[in-house]
A and B are shown apart, each in its own frame.
Chain A
């Protein structure tokens, strides 16, 4: 396309009713980039993205809410003519021991692997690497990042291979040659450690960036006053990066809460001990075909997610303001 003279849809377009959404700052003859693009131009730039997300993410979410109040099944009579059963699914879920079990398991999983494990370890690593610069730091970070970006299917395979009772590397490295079937004996611990290993890189990167925002002069003052690394961390660094810590906590909690990957390690077993909510939904909806009931659990998850998200957005917009 050849360069055209300055065009502006905003100029040709009649002002929107009430002037809402109009470009501001009409000062002088020179127009800002925002004015050149104009409201209509901007809208046409944003609309396709909004459309795609609306059709493929928002619409399914709404449909999930609808499915949740029906008794739809994958097969059989209720597959052809699902009945609206209202909130029956939700009340049924709340009194269902296996749902409550999944909720409890998920809470432990999120608390242990995300809130405590990833956040604390990530902060520790970032703190450890804080004075490093150049290739050394990049090399260290990339080693940690690899654990985080390889496919979940690969990670699951690696952990199964390491934790296996007979041929697992972990047992071989432990003294005494104990043949522990880690995934069967300590299933919850296994998936928690697995998720800590997998997810710490993100917290580390986030905190690494956060630590850069701590003014070096503050640390220097503290150091001259004789404060050791620990006191510097507690008295100066942590209060300064409080916002980042909250952000990291919320994000890793959200991700861990929705994580399906433990399925590849334990399939929710043994005896449902590691059946986190996503795996529970999968079992109920896909394996047992109770789509309506599964969708209702999904809706409950959605509400919990939304609660975490609202806190997060609140924190974020407060910081942006």
Chain B
């Protein structure tokens, strides 16, 4: 990039465009910058995965040794430390709550997307408003309720809570996907004499399936990552993998490779889910703002 073109960039000058080569060179500079930016974001994750594949001796060097021999020893050790029940708890809480969310959100979103209720917008904002509650404030009464119901340290408590937490987002997301089902198809199905159930199953579901999957995966990610409620409402039996990880860090703080293996293992399901839903993530979280 030459000094003159840089200086001219800001000014409006009809007809005088910088020479092609300079433009291309500048374009390449931006490309490099884009990759560097992405690399900065990704570096800690890459470091984690790489270190988890190293022996403890190699992980202890500083700066990190990039080319040390790879090994799966740390993962073997982890399963020896009984990480499995925590993973199972996480899996149960996330998968079951996600299924429940979908079961509740799909019919509701369908009803709200075709708007037979006049005040549908109020209903949507009712759901939106719940995302504004500070979770820490909700923790206190929920803790008291769960304690009184004798449901502390129980995976089902997490299943129910995660269902409630994710329902609003799932609803907003599903509605924006269901609105893409062309009205004509629905009307045609009715002309053909299809009932409500048939319409939902054979007409709406196939069109909305990618959206349903994306919504489900996002709910899965949120439930899997949840820490505050998991750590306060569970103890030994129902603790989830993030809770395991934090305890593991406290106990084995010196063994970096081992910790990285645990962190990688805990991240793996959401990394896969996030990679699969990449392009739809923003829709769920901007709550229809991009429509």
Contact = CB atoms under 8 A, between A and B. Distances in A.
Contact of B266 (A153, A254, A258, A260): A153
A176 interface: no
Contacts of A116: none
Given A145-B281, A209-B290, A301-B137, A53 B108 contact: no
Interface in B135-176: 135-142, 144-145, 160-161, 163-165, 167-168, 171
Contacts of B136: 258, 260, 277-278, 281-282, 298, 301
Given A1-B197, A60-B141, A143-B39, A42 B130 contact: no
B64 A169 contact: yes
B19 interface: no
Interface residues of B, number: 116
Contact of B48 (A3, A158, A230, A295): A158
Contacts of A210: 290
A145 B279 CA distance: 10
Interface string A268-298: 0000000001100110011000010011011
B221 interface: yes
A57 interface: yes
A143 B34 CA distance: 11
Given A149-B274, A152-B242, A305 B134 contact: yes
A125 B37 contact: yes
B251 interface: no
A154 B165 contact: no
A61 interface: yes
B48 to A, nearest CB: 6
Contacts of B161: 56
A152 B240 CA distance: 13
A161 interface: yes
Nearest to B26: A229
Contact of A153 (B117, B125, B246): B246
Nearest to B136: A278
The A interface is mostly helix, strand or loop, or mixed, namely helix
A169 B137 contact: no
Contacts of B171: 49
A64 interface: yes
A128 interface: yes
Give the interface centre of B33, B47, B108, B126 by most chain A CB atoms within 10 Å: B108
B138 A61 contact: yes
A89 interface: no
B132 interface: yes
Contacts of A52: 104, 163-164, 167
16 contacts: A3-B193, A57-B164, A57-B165, A64-B138, A64-B140, A128-B30, A149-B221, A151-B266, A153-B246, A158-B45, A162-B44, A167-B62, A258-B136, A277-B136, A282-B136, A309-B132
The 7 closest A-B pairs by CB, nearest first: A298-B137, A56-B164, A228-B9, A205-B282, A63-B141, A45-B111, A42-B111
